[in-house]
Amino acid sequence: MPGPDNQKPNQADGEAISPWKEAYWQLRKNKLAIVGIIIITFFILIAIFAPLLTNYTYHSISAADRLQGPSAAHWLGTDDLGRDIFTRIVYGARISLMVGFFAVSGALIFGSILGIIAGYYGRWVDMIISRIFDIMLAFPSILLAIAIVAILGPSLQNALIAIAIVNIPIFGRLVRSKVISIRQEEYIMAAKAQGMKNGRILVHHVLPNSVAPIIVQATLSFGTAILEAAALGFLGLGAQAPMPEWGKMLSDSRQFIQSAPWTVLFPGLSIMLVVLGFNMIGDGLRDALDPKMKS
């Protein structure tokens, strides 16, 4: 029988439950979300402690050790240049998580600002911003990202910028629709009647009430951003050698898929697990924060 600290608080105990506290308890009950948190925590930890987990450097070449299978010396084997794959995986986790964080952060900030402006002010401002979003969404995201990187030049930094740009309309349209539904609420009308300026209304009333869907979309977009970065790396438009980016590792090893399958298996498995982890967390957050999904 669970103890008092593990029991969900309820109003019968005389304690008012905040929406965020309720969402926390809903998330705790979601087993798939917990699995996702464990997966992402694992990759965050190996990224942080990468220098302590291996005695090799990700760029050290050893011709004598090329294409060796998993062993005590090389846990996940070596690639065609004799580089330790485990070392490149753990250092590659830093790159993938960094790309996900900065790309999603950039898209979230600019998309949310444009979405709030379009949804709150409406009229011609909404029309211009919405048409820009529609034009960007008319292109498949990966093709638009490829076009942007082709213009800026292949590099990890430009890939990050491209991924952020292609995700801006996703956040923008989400926030715009939420703001449109909020701006007609009575508390917004009351704030206007009291003479509150638009900027203050946006910061203190509109934005806080739009946070829940933004958090869910940001979590799901982490996985998408990492997948897009891997795709650009695979095409040679993202991280450049000798950086241990997982998509680049797949591209460099695709010719050895039959003779040395471990060179492709472990980078691909890492991408799959990280994307799966973020998707699990995102689904759990959606179920916890959406009132329609709560029992």
Q: How large a percentage of the chain has pLDDT more than 70? A: 87
What confidence score (pLDDT) does residue 294 get? 52
Which is more confidently placed, 227 or 178? 227
Region label for 197, one of left (φ > 0), alpha (ψ between -120 and 50) or beta (otherwise): beta
Task: Please tell me the distance from the alpha carbon of residue 108 to that of residue 175, in angstroms, as a whole number.
Answer: 10
In a domain, 10, yes or no: no
User: pLDDT tens for residues 140-173?
Assistant: 889 999 999 999 999 999 999 999 999 999 999 9
What is the rounded distance in angstroms from the CA atom of residue 152 to the CA atom of residue 150?
Answer: 6
Domain range enclosing 213: 19-61+72-293
Q: Which of 108, 26, 92, 42 is nearest to 277 (CA)?
A: 42
Q: What whole-number distance in Å separates Cα of residue 122 and Cα of residue 109? A: 20
Beta bridge mates, 78: 84
* Number of domains, the chain: 1
Strands (E), 44-153: none
Residue 86, domain member (yes or no): yes
Q: What is the pTM of this model?
A: 0.84
Output the pLDDT for position 1. Answer: 44
Domain assignment present for residue 162? The answer is: yes
Select from 228, 215, 218, 222 the least CA-distant residue to 43: 222
Q: Which pLDDT does position 178 carry in this prediction?
A: 82
Residue 135 lies in a domain: yes
How many percent of the chain have pLDDT more than 90?
Answer: 46
For the segment 196-226, what is each residue's pLDDT rounded down to a tens digit?
A: 776 677 776 677 777 788 888 999 999 999 9
**Residue 14: inside a domain, yes or no?**
no
3-state secondary structure of 194: coil
**CATH assignment at residue 149:** 1.10.3720.10
Residue 225 contacts residue 215 (beta carbons within 8 Å): no
Q: Which of 219, 187, 217 is nearest to 205 (CA)?
A: 187
Asked whether residue 46 is domain-assigned, the answer is yes
User: Is residue 2 included in any domain, yes or no?
Assistant: no
Helix axes 85-121, 211-234, angle to 10 degrees: 140
What contacts 164, CB < 8 A, 6 or more positions away? Answer: 102, 103, 104, 105, 106, 107, 110
CA distance 35 to 273: 11
CA dihedral 89, 92, 93, 97 (to 10 degrees): -160
Q: How many helices (H) and strands (E) does the chain have?
A: 12, 0
Query: Quick one: 292 exposed, middle or buried, by C-beta within 10 A (0-12, 13-18, 19+)?
Result: exposed
Domain-embedded: residue 9: no
Pairwise pLDDT comparison (265 vs 30), residue with the higher score: 265
The vertex-134 CA angle with 280 and 162, nearest 5°, equals 60
Could you tell me if 173 and 199 are in contact, meaning their C-beta atoms sit under 8 angstroms apart? no
Q: Mean pLDDT score of the chain, rounded to an integer?
A: 85
